[in-house]
Chains A and B, each alone.
Chain A
């Protein structure tokens, strides 16, 4: 089965994020005075072939651990969903 996976990589809370500070200041200058903080991260879209959703989740986790994030500075979140129509069981989409 094919799955679509979204990986969001964020800087750890303890890491200073000058990009986020600039975004924060910019938003406030535009009048969004309610903005309390801004942090900038990375978004990665993957298409993954896997036997089922659990193994897709597992393999994307491995990708994050090995390459997609640097554990010294970053955290990550993963979402996985089936791609392309109904599963072979024929259940409606």
Chain B
């Protein structure tokens, strides 16, 4: 399958995402921020980095890039869109996901291993996982504290749209060890239709044992498997 990988000025994880995609023999198609063409990809990844310098607010400028119009349209038609770190921030700014990402509670940039508990597998992004699995996937951000109002948080939980939560390595509550102080320890959420995922941790940086963990590949494989199973059922491509 073909993964489109967005490249904004300041994106830094695009090549890492392409590497992870290539490990399973999938094709990575780089999508330049000034273009509108998605080249018939099956899934669009908005990778990590500091798009447009992250000035004003992280993702606030990137959301107006020409490419993002096509990505928003692709998402509305049911296409899979996967925002990682800065990509999650962009999706929130674009209102494709609810809530916002603010300065870490520690006020420090955190680049460290993190552990995520999979809360639902009723998603193309976690179809190859089991509920309760703990994935070791690193974080690397200064502004990853997820916030939303109580009603939104309740709705996310009720609709099983929280895919990942920060936990301890044994799956227990992360407590004060949270990398950013996110409300309800939220690390990743999907939109109402389930086809748009935003997550702060970097699965592409946990794609080989040499990197300390290959758990991130389980998400790439979930997407590939879901796409193979459903073909282009959503009628996008």
Q: A72 and B57: CB pair below 8 A? A: no
A16 lies within 8 A of B105 (CB):
yes
Q: Which residue of B lies closest to A68 (CB)?
A: B56
Known: A15-B147, A18-B107, A22-B107. A73 touches B56 (CB 8 A): no
Is B107 touching A67 in the complex (CB atoms < 8 A)?
Answer: no
Binds A, one of B7-15, B96-104, B210-218: B96-104
Contact status of A70 and B107, CB under 8 A, knowing A14-B149, A15-B147: no
A19 at the interface (CB under 8 A from B): yes
Contact in complex: A70, B103 (CB < 8 Å): no
- Which residue of chain B has the shortest Cβ distance to A72 in the bound complex? B100
Assembly CA distance A73 to B101 (angstroms): 9
Return chain A residues, CB-CB under 8 Å to B31. none
How far apart sit A16 and B182, CA to CA, in the bound complex (Å)? 11
Residues of A within 8 A of B102 (CB): 15, 73
A73→B99 CA distance, assembly (Å)? 8
Distance from B61 Cβ to chain A, minimum over Cβ atoms (Å): 8
Q: Check B57–A70 contact: CB distance below 8 A.
A: yes
Contact A70 B149 (CB under 8 A): no
Q: Which residues of B contact A73 (CB under 8 A)?
A: 100, 102, 147
Whether the pair B103, A72 counts as a contact (CB closer than 8 A) is no
B164 to chain A, nearest CB (A): 20
Residues of B within 8 A of A16 (CB): 105, 147, 181
Asked whether any CB of chain A lies closer than 8 Å to the CB of B177, the reply is no
Which residues of chain B in 82-124 are interfacial with respect to chain A, using CB atoms and an 8 Å cutoff?
A: 92-93, 98-100, 102-107
Residues of A2-57 whose CB lies within 8 A of B: 14-16, 18-19, 22
Contact A18 B100, beta carbon cutoff 8 Å? no
Between B60, B100, B102, B105, the greatest number of chain A beta carbons within 10 A of the residue's beta carbon is seen for B102
Tell me, in angstroms, the Cα distance from A16 to B180 when the chains sit together. 12
Are B148's CB and A72's CB within 8 A?
yes
Of residues 131 through 156 on chain B, the ones whose CB sits less than 8 Å from some CB of chain A are 147-149
**Whole-angstrom distance from the CB of B179 to the nearest CB of chain A?**
14
Which residue of chain A has the shortest Cβ distance to B101 in the bound complex? A73
B106 CB contacts on chain A under 8 angstroms: 18
Determine the distance from Cα of A16 to Cα of B98 in the docked complex, in whole angstroms: 18
Chain A residue at minimal CB-CB distance from B93 = A70
Nearest residue in A to B152 (C-beta to C-beta)?
A: A72
Q: A18-B103, A19-B107, A22-B107 are in contact. Are A70 and B148 (CB under 8 A)?
A: no
With a cutoff of 8 Å between Cβ atoms, the chain B residues found around residue A22 in the complex are: 107
Once the chains bind, are B105 and A72 in contact (CB under 8 Å)?
no
Quote the shortest CB–CB distance from A68 to chain B (angstroms): 7
Chain B nearest CB, measured from A66 CB (Å): 9
> Other than the known A18-B107, A72-B99, A72-B147, what 16 A-B pairs have Cβ atoms closer than 8 Å?
A15-B102, A15-B147, A16-B147, A16-B181, A18-B104, A18-B105, A19-B107, A67-B56, A67-B60, A67-B61, A68-B56, A70-B57, A70-B100, A72-B92, A73-B102, A73-B147
Q: Measuring CB to CB, which residues of chain B are less than 8 angstroms from any residue of chain A?
A: 56-57, 60-61, 64, 92-93, 98-100, 102-107, 147-149, 181
User: Can you list the 5 inter-chain pairs with the closest CB atoms, starting with the nearest?
Assistant: A72-B100, A73-B100, A18-B105, A18-B107, A70-B100
